[in-house]
Amino acid sequence: LFNIHVQTVYFYKRPALITEGSSSSSDDDFFNSSVLKDGLSKALVTYYPIAGRLKRNESGRSEIDCTGEGVTFIEAETDSCIEDLGDFTQNEQLMPLVPNLVNDDDDISMYPPLLVQVCKLK
């Protein structure tokens, strides 16, 4: 699978509390998964192949099958703090934050081209 997927992790710190009367969105919206899902659904209009699934063609080459099955969106929460993760170089503490699709056989049809996991840290 690692020759097909690229795993990346992005971290965003919660902004300082929004002062009353500010035109910015409220602090409660920082981790609003429905806002993230809405943005993702709008992006998929243009990038619709990402909502498909992987498959192998007759020669064994991986390609995207535009099935429209959608992107896998995972929401998670942890008691870890961002400071617990160190300098963000690859390490054992980061691995649980990266979705892992394990499949022992050669069937890649269950794999979405894009899998998003949003993890709320303490």
Looking at the chain, which runs of residues are DSSP E strands? Answer: 53-56, 62-65, 72-77, 115-120
Which residues are within 8 A (CB) of 89 and not within 5 positions of it... i.e. 6 or more apart?
Answer: none
Angstrom CA distances, 21 to 24, 25, 35, 94, stand at: 9, 10, 22, 38
Most confident of 79-83, 99-103, 113-117: 113-117
- The ranges assigned to domains in the chain are 31-120
pLDDT per residue as tens digits for the range 10-67: 777 777 665 455 555 555 667 788 888 999 999 999 999 989 988 888 998 888 999 9
Cβ neighbours for 81, distance < 8 A, ≥ 6 positions apart: 121, 122
Residues near 13 by beta carbon (within 8 Å), at least 6 away in sequence? 82
Residue 109 CA to residue 44 CA, distance in Å, equals 19
pTM: 0.69
Task: Name which residue leads in pLDDT, 105 or 55.
Answer: 55
Instruction: Share the mean pLDDT of the chain.
Output: 77
* CATH 3.30.559.10, applies to 31-120: yes
